[in-house]
Structure 1
Amino acid sequence: QGEDVVSGVRTPHDLGEMREGMPATHAQLMEILRTLEAHYKDMQDTEFTVEDGRLYMLQTRNAKRPAQAAVRFAVDSVEEGLLTRPQAIATIDADTLDALLHPTFGRDAEYEVLARGVNASPGAAKGEIVFTAADAVEKADAGRDVILVRPFTEAEDVAGFFAACGIVTSEGGKASHAALVARGMGRPCVSGAAALEIDLAAKEVRVSGTTLQEGDLIVIDGTSGIVTTDDVALVDPDADPNFEQVLEWADGLRRLGVRTNADTPEDARKAREFGAEGIGLCRTEHMFLASDRQPKMRTMIMARTEADRRAALDELLPHQQADFEGLFEEMSGLPVTIRLLDPPLHEFLPSAEEVATDLEHARMEENADEVRELERTLERIHELAETNPMIGTRGVRLGILHPEIYEMQVAAITQAALAVRERAGAAPELEVMIPLVAYEQELELMRGLVERVVEQRGGGDLVLTIGSMIELPRACFVADRIARSADFFSFGTNDLTQTGLGFSRDDIEGRILSRYIDRKILDRSPFETIDKPGVGWLVRLAAWTGREEKPDLKLGICGEHGGDPDSVAFFHMAGLDYVSCSPYRVPIARIAAAQAAVASAQGEG
């Protein structure tokens, strides 16, 4: 009979029937279950049978359960005296808690899977298919729900992310542009759905004999990487007092601080609601992608002389200042780390192919003025093009070649902080971060620039620190030298993983990762969880040597790894001060940081 139960041959009766028909045996079972939970300090999935009036326990194991059940068990176990708070926190699978923060497919939903991709950003969404950011904005402004569908996304598509309910791409993985931006905004995203043949020219999606047109319904589950055309019911998350209780306990246990990566006041507000203790990364390049900034940004890039470039930057300064004021008001009194412009300038220009097509049309229509303008734009794009822009003219290199760009940004930061302090009575703790530093002299030069501009703009009494993003192997090897000019280090583990492993984050998950996992070279993407023996060692080396030179050096991490529970445990062990992650990962990082502290204390005990 026991074998029949375990194999599934027999259909068990409801437990309530046992209470009615065999009260003594039911009471015995309840006592055994309490003993098992007390022994294993976790909810148990138990199999048993009763034969000839005798109770037989067949097997038990820690129970797998959804997030709602996990936090409920944690709270109940403490209230019943079964577990201590640290023990209860340790029973939670922090990575499953996304379900408490995003819409999901209904539990009993039935649907046919059209395609599967990478579960790039959690949550479920549905809407009409659109293929361009402009169409997403137009339809969203008309009150329609849309899903942005593209082979891959680039910086110029960000406006479409704001407008869309979700994003689907046929290329890329969890570290692709689409995935990173979607997670930062809290938008569901399925990336790398390779079965989808996305034809932008025809505005069609073709898959397995099915053709979808612009305007057709599409439904996605970014938590599981599913795409369907069935009108699945979505379930919004409910406020869960058990979750709030667990988060409160976690904050009392953790050592690591938890900040957020946020570029807009809306993201900052949401992150603060989730418990963020500041901004660990504000990517200023996203501020230049709004429709009212792009023409001014392109004018600056197209400028041939420094004077023309400075004139264009003067036009951008008020916009940048207004953006910072919005962020600073949301984070008043908390630290805000602002990364100065990082991407290469060509990313703010249209693609060469797009301009060449427009140029051909202009020539056919004999529009001389437009032809001259497009020829000039195309020439400039070719001038700025690089063989490998990811390690080309970007970050601090851009600041050294064109210091006027960083000067404008620092002026905007300073003026915004002063304006907010005057209005609200308190400014944030400003942390200006220089990206892609490899040589200590680079940081020395940029530190001098920042301090000079802050003083010139009347910000000498602001609370301001200056630090370096650590995202290149050389920076880790010479961290002690860089630390001499740095108040803090923030590890950019996305790029440190790329440069440390020689992997392209846009390509590995679509072309290499599955084979590497099959051959057991990797068990997970190194862009999803930190490569502890390799990239992790670089982090530990830089943390150690940096603090050897400057014991009070503040250490943080602002890559996507800051929201991965396994990576958070590593950063705790490495002695970092805080992790920073996208707003919707903040609660998960809070729990993970507490679990790391609990595990560390147990190890020391």
Structure 2
Amino acid sequence: MNEILHPIINPASATKLKALPGGIAGAPGAAIGRVFFSTEGLLNAFKEAQQKGEDTRLVQCLAASFAEDVKAIEVATGVLSCEGGYSAHASVVARQYGKVSLVKTDMRIRGNKATIGSTVISEGEYITLNVPYYGKPVVYIGKAELIEPNPEESGMLDFIKLVMRHVGSFHVRTNADTPRDAALARSFGAAGIGLCRTEHMFFDEKRINVFREMILSDTREERKKALAKLLPIQKTDFYKLLKIMSPHEVTIRLLDAPLHEFLPHNDDEMKKFVAYLAARDKAEALSEKEVRIRCDGLAEFNPMLGHRGCRIAVSFPEIYEMQVRAIFEAVYTLQKEGVEVHPEIMIPIIMNENELKLLVYGKRIEGAAIRGLVDVEEEIRQAMKARPIKYRVGTMIELPVAALRAGEIARYAQFFSFGTNDLTQTTLGLSRDDFNSFMPDYTQFDVLDGNPFQMLDQGVKELVELATRRGRITRPDLMVGLCGEHGAIPENIRFCMEAGLNYVSCSPYSVPIANLTIAQMNLERGVVA
């Protein structure tokens, strides 16, 4: 099915091209394009090619990608990186957008050139990436020919309809934060959105500087002014996703990424941000030096375990308040239009029940207060004179302590979603971006049974089972899903079904394969969907 869903190379067209075999497959398929070594450079080249009517096929080449690079991956045909592996950021984002991703750990990047062995690749040069689902990946120097997928002619859409007859209550959702991805996943059989990463929405060039303005604000009032500019944009984002997925559930994860990830990371971005601040308020505009000092002050040594997710909401509750307000303004607007919606609000990186209780129900102490999201919902509903709507509030289980305290957390959570990428990292103490540097040694001596960022580790499985069991003792109707990249692997899906989960959520292009796995298991068991 992967071969049908993604472009493949016409083998005859690559026979005369120089081949550089090897690497770690991040996302399958084949891609052709001119190489660019920065997000800014690729986006400028894309715009210029569009204006001139030239070839817009581009490949992003970098050591590793970050949240700010998502906008480049979205328009690129593929990503070539040299750090990480299957679960690295570049691979995860590429799979989400249906792009090709290859990790060449032997590649070295210096300026606007990359070296693989004795071969030098210069910026603007054409390469072809071939990343088969089975078999060895290859980078070709030059342009091969692609055979593009056609789901209708191949019979894929008809096959999906047949498969869906055998998919019962255990279902597949998708990871999507754009209308395009949501619509595509729905056509592939997704029954809702299991993970909407709202941080990706802020990297659009029309909003990123407003968000940066909010981050560097000195006072809560200044932050609220910046967030007020983002509110109508977020409302439109959620409105579109909820409408496309009606009447299925849409799980919206509130801001998770550390704030420093949104700040400028190169000179071009810094100059644009400083110019934006100057245009906004010339009298009180910060200098570039002052902006750099503030940005440096937000840097963290270990951001994955630092000031992110719900921890940001405790420090700056107005951020989540804006997002919750946008969600329910969209929900009650759709209600008036007669559209059935089922929003689920997910609060990330929760470690105990007190965090969740604080953010759901709020708290007032002398000199400070945090509004609960239930209070924000009630305010919006009354202001819009709307009828109450059923919605769920839940959390992502991505820390071992959250799995162990699942019974207490379930007092305030109506659903759990296992974020197994981070849960694997925090359980095994392994970085998904660095593990591949020594994984071959572990494979050689059978220290680990496969790549734990593809196949669920036994310890992680036990935590999933334990948390599900303890959560349902407290709340028998607890909805439980898995939204990590593991959710696209058939063996992991089988485990989730056996462990009593309700769904898995994966990238749009993985939805058909996940549904096929479920249908096969139901047929094996004689389960009638």
TM over 0.5: yes
Does the residue aligned with 1:253 lie in a helix, a strand or coil?
coil
Does the residue aligned with 2:46 lie in a helix, a strand or coil?
helix
Does the residue aligned with 1:505 lie in a helix, a strand or coil?
coil
Residue 135 of structure 1 deviates from its aligned partner by 2.3
Q: What does residue 101 of structure 1 align with?
A: 5
Does the residue aligned with 2:412 lie in a helix, a strand or coil?
coil
Q: 2:397 aligns with which of 458, 463, 470?
A: 470
Residue 515 of structure 1 deviates from its aligned partner by 1.4
Does the residue aligned with 2:321 lie in a helix, a strand or coil?
helix
- Classify 1:600/1:385 alpha carbon distance in 2 versus 1 (closer, same or farther; 3 Å): farther
Q: What does residue 74 of structure 2 align with?
A: 162
Q: Which letter maps to 1:105?
A: I
Deviation string 1:59-87 (CA, Å, 9 cap, x unpaired) is xxxxxxxxxxxxxxxxxxxxxxxxxxxxx
- Classify 1:427/1:300 alpha carbon distance in 2 versus 1 (closer, same or farther; 3 Å): farther
Does the residue aligned with 1:441 lie in a helix, a strand or coil?
helix
Cα distance between partner residues in 1 of 2:283 and 2:124: 36
Q: What does residue 314 of structure 2 align with?
A: 400
Cα distance between partner residues in 1 of 2:451 and 2:471: 28
Q: What does residue 107 of structure 2 align with?
A: 196
Residue 522 of structure 1 deviates from its aligned partner by 2.3
Task: Count residues with an aligned counterpart.
Answer: 493
Q: What does residue 374 of structure 2 align with?
A: 451
Residue 370 of structure 1 deviates from its aligned partner by 12
Q: 1:182 aligns with which of 88, 94, 103?
A: 94
Q: 2:22 aligns with which of 102, 111, 116?
A: 116
Does the residue aligned with 2:493 lie in a helix, a strand or coil?
helix
Residue 508 of structure 1 deviates from its aligned partner by 0.6
- Which range moves more in the overlay, 464-473 or 215-224? 215-224
- Classify 1:372/1:461 alpha carbon distance in 2 versus 1 (closer, same or farther; 3 Å): closer
Q: Which letter maps to 2:175?
A: N
Cα distance between partner residues in 1 of 2:271 and 2:339: 49
Q: What does residue 528 of structure 1 align with?
A: 454
Q: Does 1:439 align with 2:352?
A: yes
- Which range moves more in the overlay, 232-241 or 463-472? 232-241
Residue 149 of structure 1 deviates from its aligned partner by 0.8
Deviation string 1:468-503 (CA, Å, 9 cap, x unpaired) is 111110111111111111111111111100101101
Q: Does 1:514 align with 2:440?
A: yes
Cα distance between partner residues in 2 of 1:180 and 1:232: 25
Q: What does residue 562 of structure 1 align with?
A: 487
Q: 1:250 aligns with which of 136, 157, 163?
A: 163
Q: Is the 8 A contact 2:8 2:30 kept in 1?
A: yes
Higher alpha-carbon Rg:
1
Q: 1:585 aligns with which of 510, 516, 521?
A: 510
Cα distance between partner residues in 2 of 1:163 and 1:584: 17
Q: What does residue 503 of structure 1 align with?
A: 430
Q: Is the 8 A contact 1:120 1:225 kept in 2?
A: no
Residue 588 of structure 1 deviates from its aligned partner by 0.5
Deviation string 1:102-141 (CA, Å, 9 cap, x unpaired) is 1011254524422522110111110111112222222223
Q: What does residue 231 of structure 1 align with?
A: 143
Please list every run of 5 or more consecutive structure 1 residues that lacks an aligned counterpart in the other structure. 1-96, 363-367
Q: What does residue 327 of structure 1 align with?
A: 241
Cα distance between partner residues in 1 of 2:355 and 2:42: 41
Q: What does residue 58 of structure 1 align with?
A: none
Q: Does 1:390 align with 2:304?
A: yes
- Classify 1:601/1:546 alpha carbon distance in 2 versus 1 (closer, same or farther; 3 Å): farther
Deviation string 1:433-455 (CA, Å, 9 cap, x unpaired) is 01011110111112221111111
Q: Which letter maps to 1:440?
A: E
Q: Does 1:314 align with 2:218?
A: no
Q: Is the 8 A contact 2:38 2:60 kept in 1?
A: yes
Q: What does residue 369 of structure 2 align with?
A: none
Q: Which letter maps to 2:164?
A: D
Deviation string 1:521-577 (CA, Å, 9 cap, x unpaired) is 22421111211x210110000011111111110111111111111110110111100
Q: Which letter maps to 1:196?
A: M
Cα distance between partner residues in 1 of 2:95 and 2:304: 21
Q: Which letter maps to 1:389?
A: P
Q: Which letter maps to 2:109?
A: I
- Classify 1:292/1:355 alpha carbon distance in 2 versus 1 (closer, same or farther; 3 Å): closer
Cα distance between partner residues in 2 of 1:138 and 1:354: 15
Q: What does residue 217 of structure 1 align with?
A: 126
Cα distance between partner residues in 1 of 2:4 and 2:31: 15
Q: What does residue 79 of structure 1 align with?
A: none
Please list every run of 5 or more consecutive structure 2 residues that lacks an aligned counterpart in the other structure. 51-55, 276-281, 362-371
Cα distance between partner residues in 1 of 2:71 and 2:428: 32
Post-superposition, which runs of at least 4 consecutive aligned residues in structure 1 deviate over 4 A? 240-246, 353-359, 368-372, 599-602
Deviation string 1:180-206 (CA, Å, 9 cap, x unpaired) is 111111111112x0222212x3x1122
Q: Is the 8 A contact 2:35 2:122 kept in 1?
A: yes
Does the residue aligned with 1:594 lie in a helix, a strand or coil?
helix
Q: Once the two structures are aligned, what percentage of the paired residues are identical?
A: 40
Q: Does 1:260 align with 2:208?
A: no
Q: Is the 8 A contact 2:488 2:511 kept in 1?
A: yes
Cα distance between partner residues in 2 of 1:140 and 1:410: 35
Residue 410 of structure 1 deviates from its aligned partner by 0.3
Using CA pairs below 8 Å that are at least 6 residues apart, which structure has the higher relative contact order?
Answer: 2
Q: Which letter maps to 2:86?
A: K
Cα distance between partner residues in 1 of 2:269 and 2:161: 56
Does the residue aligned with 1:341 lie in a helix, a strand or coil?
coil
Cα distance between partner residues in 2 of 1:369 and 1:226: 55
- Give the TM-score, by structure 2 length: 0.88
Q: What does residue 270 of structure 1 align with?
A: 184
Cα distance between partner residues in 2 of 1:437 and 1:105: 44
Q: Is the 8 A contact 1:261 1:583 kept in 2?
A: yes
Residue 170 of structure 1 deviates from its aligned partner by 1.4
